Amino acid sequence: MAPIEDHPLRYRLANELHARPFPSMQAPCSAAYVAFKQPEMAANRDRARDVAHLMALLDRHGAPHPQPGATHYYGQLGRHWLKWEQHTEFVTYTIFSEGVEDRAFDARAFDPFPQDWLEDAPGQRVTSILIRVEPRRDAEEMRADFRDWFVPESLAVSSVLEGAAIMGGDFRIDQNGHMRFAVFASEGTGQRRIGRIVQRLCEIETYKSMSMLGFARVRAMGAQLGVLDTRLTELVEAMSVEGSKAEETLQALLAISAELETLSAQSSFRFGATWAYEAIVNERIAALREDRHEGRQTFGEFMVRRYQPAMRTVRSAQERLDAMSARGVRAANLLRTRVDVERSAQNQALLESMDKRSDLQLRLQRTVEGLSVVAISYYAVSLVSYLLYPLADSTGLSKGLLTAIVTLPVVLAVWGLVRRLRKEVEK
């Protein structure tokens, strides 16, 4: 039996679904996480620089390199484990360590990332996170830890995955520049499940930060949108004013439309990425299957109160930009129609004027033709008379009578000739 021919990407695509498993973590343990993004054109960056930066870290610890073309890596880094992932706009590094520091959220958890290596990163830090995982303890002890580690005003705490763990965080940056999250794993919670919770926390914070870039873009372009909106409104109002110069108004409208299209083109990728990141944040929170813990706000409620308003602002700005672009196009089309009507009226008046001038030219031409007949006839009669003068003596006619006799035939002949020539020209 002949073998079935496989698509060349079949195995690669199938393996891609299993290429990024959740880490295995056993309490107590900790994770240090950092994400880098280039400030401009991150989606079109030179990804070889990301790989080179990873290999520089691996070389420092004597760890093996990833396969050529890899977009993810998981391997041992001394007594730690490193997970590296390359995404569309950013790259992430996660260090998993057994045990926890005596002092909660000690900055030394970032020691596996050398300072000079961090400074050489091909991009800027989007976020960095410290996650502390401990076995679940007495409720009062956990309550005291949450009170000591986080800001109560913004603290979110919830029970996740049907009581597998209690997680908490305040989404604030500490004095060392890191976000903090705490996870208290219940007895019997598997290592994969703990790793899934930690991974979800990293993804929630990263995609939240990435989607907030859309909010920053909206705030930066807000003043420009306001100016363009005012100018567009004034031009639309000017269209209804009698005596306004339509062509000048049309040129101004086209200039505003061009600026709006430029803004739309510059922001389209960021808006699209914002909605994709927002969806991932909501999906990751939903996957944790939160339950309220001791009356505290959950992560989902925190996002509804603090994060979703920012996303609604971005959506409102995008809708406003789209509406302004549509208004500009409609106004330009209306004004272009008005210009066309005015030009048609001008062309009609011009044609009527040309008709009048043509009629006058025709009358003038006929007048000139009549005068031409008289002038030509005069010279023709003179020539004919000179030719017939020698016959005057033999016929007994005077020169004046002879001239009078030939005048009428010559005039008729000239008139007929001019009339014939005019008909030939008109053909």
Residues 370, 366: Cα–Cα separation, whole Å:
6
Residue 178 has pLDDT above 90, yes or no: yes
Mean pLDDT value of segment 267-279: 94
pTM of the model: 0.77
Contact 160, 288 (CB under 8 A): yes
Q: How confident is the model at residue 197 (pLDDT cuts 50, 70, 90)?
A: very high
Is 224 or 344 the better-scoring residue by pLDDT?
224
Mean pLDDT value of segment 284-293: 95
Residue 385 has pLDDT above 80, yes or no: no
Residue 79 has pLDDT above 80, yes or no: yes
Q: Phi/psi zone of residue 100: left (φ > 0), alpha (ψ -120 to 50 degrees), beta? A: beta
Contact 150, 161 (CB under 8 A): no
* Tokens describing residue 76: 């041992």
Residues 253, 250: Cα–Cα separation, whole Å:
5
Percent of the chain past pLDDT 70, that is, above it, reads 86
Mean pLDDT value of segment 59-69: 90
Residue 243 has pLDDT above 60, yes or no: no
Q: What is the pLDDT of residue 214?
A: 94
Contact 107, 95 (CB under 8 A): no
Q: Give CA separation, 91 vs 16, 204, 206, in Å.
A: 17, 15, 10
Residue 54 has pLDDT above 80, yes or no: yes
* Max Cα–Cα distance, the chain, nearest Å: 159
Mean pLDDT value of segment 295-309: 94
Q: How confident is the model at residue 388 (pLDDT cuts 50, 70, 90)?
A: low
